[in-house]
Structure 1
Amino acid sequence: MDLLPIFLDINNEPCLVVGGGPIALRKLQNLRRAGARVRLVSPELVPELAASVEEDAAITWYQRRFDDEDLLDIRLAIAATDDRAVNRRIAALAKAARVPVNVADQPEDCSFIMPSVIDRSPVVVAVSTGTASPVLARMIRARLESLVPAGYGRLAELCARYRDRVKERFERQRDRRRFWDRVLQGGVAERVFSGHLKEADAHMERELAAGGNPTDMGEVYLVGAGPGDPDLLTFRALRLMQQADVVVYDRLVGKPIIDMVRRDAEHVYVGKQRNQHTMRQEEINKLLAQLAKEGKRVLRLKGGDPFIFGRGGEEIDTLAAEGVPFQVVPGITAANGCACYAGIPLTHRAYAQSVTFVTGHLKDGTINLNWRQLAEPHQTIVFYMGLVGLPVIVDKLIEHGVAPDMPIALVQQGTTHMQKVYPATLKTILARVEEDPPEPPTLIIVGDVVNLRDKLDWFTTIPDREQGATTPLLPGD
């Protein structure tokens, strides 16, 4: 370890910044976030820095060049001028006075460096490469950003509020550590992350009352896995996938996403196809409740969004009736994902002022929809699960007044490397499908916006995670 990583308390302490450009501004902003009182020395200031001086009483500007006496009674100094010789002189004087000094872009003159920071106050993560590559440090920080939710600051505040009570409740350090391990990886933390702070406090009180003995009840996470591309998962979805004990999933969730679930988690496949159910929906509902009652953290992974034709509402009905705690994590629904990757905007001021999501078949297997409403102009209609009923959809729309030359597009396995788009009209789509049958799942989009796909000269590249390559999608593919 070349450098000692420390966190320095400079709250209300005098710190010096020499320089008036963008780098000085960035350094000054970091000092102010830590509560420092800043003495700023520079003959001139860029407008943004001048505005900060005007607005912040904790910044004092000395409109002149650096003077040796500027280092008197200073806790920390930063040299950020555009003159390397001046910066080097400031660094030498600061070191002689035992004042920590940072010099912008001159690591050899620094006595300390300022790392890339992930700020979730009071939680702060600092990343440094020891001056070897600041760009690499920023890249690492960007990756860590996805692993450290914004709610960690709120979680730390909750820990601070309960720290003394936990010490009173558990005499042995080992018991306290086990208690905090469970709290910080369980229901309390997840409620904090989702912004349900009152529920988090109530859950914390129950944990304390239980005396450190975990309850038998687990929890169910209804997580939207998106339309197929793993890059479309939310940060929260990924976090819950990594901590689940068992995952319950169906055929709309692809292998690349399943591979991101915690490796030692139990896998339960409950895939359903038309008239072919591995497990009936009522049985899935009961299974989720049963697994949670066994004390397991259950990940119910659903393609798209759980509440848009994902039957998530039916599942939480059962969980609520059984007294099982649950969370719902929204996902990018197939309509948004597939339309975007196919280059079709669902709304456009000139062509569609509304968009309607419709299921292609009802519970009894029929397609008995409000065709009069669906035939209204200036809208986009998206049919889920409508491939089998496509002939009926086409006939009914034309029968209720939709022009036979209305654009339609079928998007096969959208957002994946198997995506294929079938643009046509209501009059021609059946012939095209008969000639080249698409593979489910296939989304159907009807409306004038389909024509914009060619006009936008769309180009999308989808990662091919099976082959390690990429698939370019051009208009007409």
Structure 2
Amino acid sequence: MDTSLFPLFADLRGRAVLVVGGGAVAERKVQALLRAGALPRVGALQLSEALQELARSLRIQWLQGPFAPHWLGEDVWLVIAATDDPATNQAVAAAAHARRLFANVVDDAALSAFHVPAVVERGPLQIAISSGGGAPMVARHVRRRIEVLFDQAWGQLAALVTDQRAQICARFPEPGARRRFFDRLIDGPLLDLLRRRQWVAAEGQLRQDMAGEPTATPGSVVLVGAGSGDPGLLTLNALRALNQADVILHDRLVSTEVLQLARRDADFIEVGKSAQGHSTAQDHIHALMLEHARAGKRVVRLKGGDAFVFGRGGEELQFLRAHGIAYEVVPGITAALACAAYAGIPLTHRDHTQQLRLVTAHCKGSLDTLDWNALALPRQTLVFYMGVATLAQIRSGLLAAGLCAATPFALVENGSRTSQRVVRGQLDTLPEAAHLYRVQSPALLILGDVAALADELHWFGHAPLQVPPTLSSPPAKTSPTTLADAA
């Protein structure tokens, strides 16, 4: 079957469109028509509650009763059949065909003279996708892919260019020159200015581009939070930044799956930090950002979790600002949220906790500055980042401050990744439990009554590994076979 269609965008403002059907499908079609400025007439025996409200407010006209061919009056431009009765749908299509009106029969490509595409809308910019009516789910999948590639700034760009259309055509009357101008416009800084809601600067940039003043493309840096490892947790803005990057400076713990979503021909530079192995000095990271941004590159500083939660994002922005480098920030899902969710641990729960504290335990010096008495208060959840090497000190500080030895804990190793493990026990056995199961970084420590809910609410990966309450000293080294069985 040949499903080739002629793509067409219809101007329906102020024009009557007949929709036959009064249920949920008809609702969706009517709402789309209203957004396009059409004047829907809805023919049906009964209307859904939402359609009744539209009729009462006179936003639609209700033709009550079974379908009648005279509903297709001389002023009707399009017809949509959205009933669950094949005979009615066929009658609507036949009546429309007799009057040379385009009709769409929902989910019936053979009876349809036109098809309603899957649409990505960005203001005046609309991207329509069609499978010829034969594979609508494929079209919807393609739409989801395109949603990632085109953010709202593209709609704002379309609106800005529309306002300046006459001036652009006058400045570049020759089509080839006009195409080259738009190529420069898209590759330049205008889109980034629109993303940052800098409207005046964007208008000035457009005027400058139209004047043809040669300017070097300025470089910029985007701080992107990569989340805890699962690529499905990336935001649409993060995916956009990764697909536009020329250079990606990424932490050691950013997962391979996340990196695989980035632009393939970008330069990937690992700038990770490790308490045990090689680390990249922060000053060197600053120098790399500056070097590549000054070379006119789009730089993505890709950080595990979120850049502003123990990620030195503030320091890096201060450096960029001091050196006049443009920047933006794309938040990521920080490890506390991701690891707790994937372990089935609600960080807040009205039966168990009134406070949530995020704490860094990166080194011994940082532990010495903590207010242990405040951390030992009841009815709160504690989340320790980067604490695998300091679990014994954490236990000592909390017990000395009066926190109950039976306080539940959960160690979440490789949270949200396929290799995730959760170790569950009580505070007094914390370092021994980590030793027993050989917990390695990256791992997050969650302390508080909510940690025990992992036993009941876990949903991702294996069930939590349980620590015997009597464990009080490091056991003999466990064999790899036993560990594998336990995991």
Fold match (TM-score > 0.5): yes
Say whether the 8 Å CA contact 1:367–1:389 is kept in structure 2. no
Say whether the 8 Å CA contact 1:286–1:318 is kept in structure 2. no
In structure 2, distance between residues paired with 1:474 and 1:200: 53
Question: Which residue of structure 1 aligns with residue 483 of structure 2?
Answer: none
Give matches, 1:74-473, under 5 Å.
Answer: 74-170=76-172, 173-205=175-207, 207-208=209-210, 211=212, 213-274=214-275, 276-361=277-362, 367-456=368-457, 458-460=458-460, 472-473=461-462
- Cα shift readout 1:400-446 (whole Å, capped 9, x = no counterpart): 11111111221112111221112111211122222332111111111
In structure 2, distance between residues paired with 1:445 and 1:202: 50
Q: Which amino acid aligns with 2:459?
A: F
Question: Which residue of structure 2 aligns with residue 8 of structure 1?
Answer: 10
Q: Which amino acid aligns with 2:20?
A: V
Give matches, 1:28-47, under 5 Å.
Answer: 28-47=30-49
> Alignment identity in percent?
41
Say whether the 8 Å CA contact 2:363–2:390 is kept in structure 1. no
In structure 2, distance between residues paired with 1:214 and 1:404: 65
| Superposed displacement of residue 112, structure 1 | 1.1
Provide the TM-score with structure 2 as the length reference.
0.88
- 1:20 is aligned, of 19, 22, 29, to 22
Say whether the 8 Å CA contact 1:216–1:293 is kept in structure 2. no
Moved more, 16-25 or 283-292: 16-25
| Superposed displacement of residue 236, structure 1 | 0.7
Q: Which segments of 5 or more consecutive residues in structure 2 lack a partner in the other structure?
A: 466-486
**Does the C-alpha gap of structure 1 residues 175 and 296 become closer, same or farther in structure 2, counting only changes over 3 Å?**
farther
Say whether the 8 Å CA contact 2:189–2:217 is kept in structure 1. no
Aligned length: 463
Aligned partner of residue 145 in structure 2, secondary structure = helix
Aligned partner of residue 220 in structure 1, secondary structure = strand
Question: Which residue of structure 1 aligns with residue 479 of structure 2?
Answer: none
- Cα shift readout 1:205-247 (whole Å, capped 9, x = no counterpart): 55456x2534252111111111111111111111111111111
Provide the TM-score with structure 1 as the length reference.
0.90
Moved more, 68-77 or 318-327: 68-77
Aligned partner of residue 389 in structure 1, secondary structure = helix
In structure 2, distance between residues paired with 1:283 and 1:106: 61
**Does the C-alpha gap of structure 1 residues 344 and 68 become closer, same or farther in structure 2, counting only changes over 3 Å?**
closer
Q: Which amino acid aligns with 1:380?
A: T
Q: Which amino acid aligns with 1:473?
A: H
Aligned partner of residue 417 in structure 2, secondary structure = coil
In structure 2, distance between residues paired with 1:346 and 1:117: 38
Aligned partner of residue 119 in structure 1, secondary structure = strand
Aligned partner of residue 228 in structure 1, secondary structure = coil
In structure 2, distance between residues paired with 1:295 and 1:59: 54
Q: Which segments of 5 or more consecutive residues in structure 1 lack a partner in the other structure?
A: 461-471
In structure 2, distance between residues paired with 1:200 and 1:173: 24
- 1:475 is aligned, of 454, 464, 468, to 464
- CA RMSD in angstroms, aligned pairs only: 2.3
| Superposed displacement of residue 85, structure 1 | 3.1
